[in-house]
Amino acid sequence: MSGLLTTAVGSLPKPGYLAKARTAFASGRIDGAELDKLTRQATAECIRMQEDVGLDVLVHGEMERGDMVAYFAELLTESMAISGLVRSYGNRYYRKPIITDELHWQGPMTIDMWRYAQGLTDKPVKAMLTGPYTMVDWSFDEHYGSRREAILAMAKVVRREAEELVKAGAKFVQVDEPAASTRPEEMELVSEALGIVTQGLDARTITHICYGDFASVFHHIANLPVDQLDLEMANSGYNLLNLIQEHNSEFQKELAMGVVDVHNHVLETREQVKAGIRKGLEVLPPERLFIDPDCGLKTRTWDEAEAKLRVIVEATREVKRELEID
Amino acid sequence: MRVTAAGSYPKIPNRPRPARLRQAIARRDRGDITAEELARVEDEVTIEVIAEQAEAGLDLVTDGQIRWDDDQTYIAQRLQGFEITGLIRYFDTNTYYRQPNVTAPVRWQQPILVRDYEFAADHSTKPVKALITGPYTLAALSNDSHYGDRRPLVLALAEALHQEAKALVAAGASVIQVNEPAILRHKEDGPLLQEAITKMLDGIDAETALYTWFGDADGILPLLMDLPVDVIGLDFVSGPGNWEALKRVSFSKVLGFGIIDARNTRMEPADEIAEQIQRVSEFVPAERLYVNPSCGLEYLPREVALEKLKRLVEGVRRAGAVAV
């Protein structure tokens, strides 16, 4: 593959019919088979849209997931449960899970949907997992009483799932850790847990981290046990690139750089995105640079998400043409 | 010994009870109901959560901060000198607040919390305490584009919040709690906190409290003993180091003893709570003790929060000192 590949971070917006079906399923008005049919229909639309836009590395869109932590917690029925709604900010609430018992892998949680999505395209589809640190940090713990114990136990569960994904044929395994930058003093624990998931895994490993004060933990982030870091940039004025430049000798990884803000309805212009890509190229060579949005696009409308991905692809193509990168 | 809340209360219940406030805010955002209609729902929910605290057996309640989006913006957006910007994480929680940005001199314009206090007091069978985010914490959690130095910003906030405290006392508030969690992350600023709190509470004729959470006060507890407040609130769940801190000081004030974990659903057995109360009695006599959750209860689902408060009251009862 050539340099400057384009990709998406993870989630895509759920089409209206799927959002309605999920509500209907939650209140018992449709059955699981009906919901599954519509989930697959939406997943196929995600793949078609990304192919149409021209992304190089696709995501399956996470149509089967509501919350990235609760999705897994609900499948780990023997060790986790959902406590109830807890406010995140403003009028946003999430269903916060509880660790109720010894964590263990009960069976595949992501294989079916990944396999279905990959079967629809010749391009690689990333396999998406929520990382052990985030799984635990965003859950209550009624069992372990020790963050470290809970996180390392969760890491073994996520590791097993990652192995199953690789067995199924996944070439890219992304382990998202949005909670990672919450506590600088726990970065070594983040790294240790992530290492349990990625060590020796026969796939390109990625982690996506967002919302953080990266400067204070940059050394740790630069050394996380993954092949590729996926970081938001557009939302923070590309300040992170300066950090990477300052620590260039230490930073050996691939970087997927976010060049459009996912929290804003406004569509970036092609020139804005090109400027972001060029900034990235001042710091890293094209073969180590992936171009994507800042974060998952699930909070945007379908049309906004498609437009944001399209401007990424078009801007990347123009930069490649101008700089004769292939 | 009295039982109280440290601050917020969850805004919405879980199924099958309807999430009325959440629905009302969504409808207001869509333009389906007016701000006045939303305010009525906020009032009704406030009455509900005051009643739940009383039902649990608390001696001193709060209004649950039902109308507050977060501890910072509710106050900052009603002061002169602030604009509200993007989301930022609140300490190490998985909750976010919109960061206030200081763009001009900070000034008090009109009462912020007075109507809320009066409403709560009118609808409570128990005494209500007024909560104010303190000048140090408001400054530390804001972005400063105007003063260029923390000290003048903190002191300007202290002056503004002094006006608010005076207005609350004039409205009849007999207990005022100032929340200063941020000082635990910046203990070197203890003297600035002292200067600000002294200014803010100068001549305030009410029982005053300064509450902290998410850490321990080891190192600044002697300074907190010199503050012109009656009550010091400490979080013994996130800050077990507070036990060490207690050993190193003569605790001369009333202690706000934060002992049940308001950030985890695990139910503390009532006996465990009673043991903690026994343990703290070596340092502070029962008559100088408020027992409360470690911090605001909004980190928990509503039903868990209520159950935790009931446990707390039961633990106090088992400790052999029922509130009077």
Q: Under an 8 A CB cutoff, do A86 and B10 touch?
A: yes
Across the range A191-211, mean pLDDT stands at 94
Q: Which residue of A has its CA nearest to B95?
A: A88
B11 interface with A at CB cutoff 8 Å: yes
Counting one residue from chain A and one from chain B, the pairs whose CB atoms sit within 8 A come to: 63
CB nearest to A87's CB, from B14, B95, B265 = B95
Interchain contact A26–B (C-beta under 8 A): no
Residues in A touching B7 (Cβ below 8 Å) = none
B92-145 pLDDT, tens digit each? 999 999 999 999 999 999 999 999 999 999 999 999 999 999 999 999 999 999
Are the Cβ atoms of B12 and A83 closer than 8 angstroms? Answer: no
Q: What is the pLDDT of residue A182?
A: 84
Q: Which residue type occupies B217? A: A
Q: What is the pLDDT of residues B155-208, one digit of tens each?
A: 999 999 999 999 999 999 999 999 999 999 999 999 999 999 999 999 999 999
Give the torsion sign (CA, B65, B70, B76, B77).
negative
Task: Select the residue of B92, B298, B302 nearest A182 (Cβ to Cβ).
Answer: B92
A313 reaches B (C-beta below 8 A): no
The more confidently predicted of residues A11 and A219 is A11
Closest Cβ opposite residue A85 in set B14, B96, B264: B14
Cis peptide before B105 (omega within 30 of 0): no
Residue percentage of chain B with pLDDT more than 90:
97
* Strands (E) located in chain A: 5-6, 80-89, 92-99, 127-130, 140-141, 172-176, 204-209, 228-231, 254-258, 289-292
Per-residue model confidence (pLDDT) at position A1: 46
* pLDDT tens-digit series, residues A137-196: 999 999 999 999 999 999 999 999 999 999 999 999 999 999 998 888 999 999 999 999
A281-305 mean pLDDT: 94
Joined tokens for residue A143: 């069992």
pLDDT class for A250, splitting at 50, 70, 90? confident
Q: Which residue of B has its CA nearest to A91?
A: B22
Q: Output phi, psi for B240, to 5 deg.
A: -60, -20
Name every chain B residue with its beta carbon within 8 A of the beta carbon of A91: 22, 25-26, 29
Give residue limits of the domains in chain A.
5-65+109-323
* B19 to A89: CB separation less than 8 angstroms, yes or no: no
Q: Which residues of chain A make contact with B300, given a CB cutoff of 8 A?
A: 83, 86
In this complex, which of A84, A137, A263 lies closest to B301 when CB atoms are compared?
A: A84
The ranges assigned to domains in chain B are 2-318
CATH of B2-318, one of 3.90.470.20, 3.20.20.10, 1.10.357.10, 3.20.20.210: 3.20.20.210
Tell me what percent of chain A is helix, strand and coil, each rounded to the nearest 5. 45, 15, 35
* Strands of A140-141's sheet in order across: A80-89, A92-99, A140-141
For A20-36, the pLDDT digits (tens) are 999 999 999 999 999 99
Task: Report the residue of chain B nearest A264, measured CA to CA.
Answer: B86
If contacts are CB pairs under 8 Å, which of residues 59-98 in chain B contact chain A? 69-70, 86-87, 89, 92, 94-98
CA of A184, closest CA in chain B: separation in Å?
Answer: 10
- Facing residue for A90 by CB, picked from B69, B300, B303: B69
- Distance from B296 to chain A by nearest Cα, in Å? 12
Whether B114 contacts B157, CB under 8 Å: no
- Assess contact for B261 and B305: CB atoms under 8 A: no
A87–B10: do the CB atoms touch at under 8 Å? yes
> Is the minimum CB–CB distance between A116 and chain B shorter than 8 Å?
no
ipTM above 0.90, yes or no: yes
Two structure tokens written together for B284? 């502070």
Judged by a CB distance cut-off of 8 A, whether residue B303 touches chain A is yes
Q: How far is B318 from chain A (nearest CA, A)?
A: 23
The mean pLDDT of chain B is 97
The alpha-carbon gap from B94 to the nearest alpha carbon of chain A, in Å, equals 7
Tell me, yes or no, if B25 comes closer than 8 A to chain A by beta carbon: yes
Q: Give residue A211's pLDDT band: very low, low, confident or very high (50, 70, 90).
A: low
CATH topology of domain A5-65+109-323: TIM Barrel (3.20.20)
Q: Which two tokens stand for residue B274?
A: 């009673």
Q: Of the ranges A98-107, A189-198, A283-292, B314-323, which one carries the lowest mean pLDDT score?
A: B314-323
CA distances (Å), B216 to each of A70, B183, B298, in order?
32, 10, 21
A184 touches chain B (CB under 8 A): no
Q: Do B265 and A140 touch (CB under 8 A)?
A: yes
When CB atoms are compared, the residue of A88, A98, A137 closest to B96 is A88
Q: How much helix, strand and coil, in percent to the nearest 5, is found in chain B?
A: 45, 20, 40
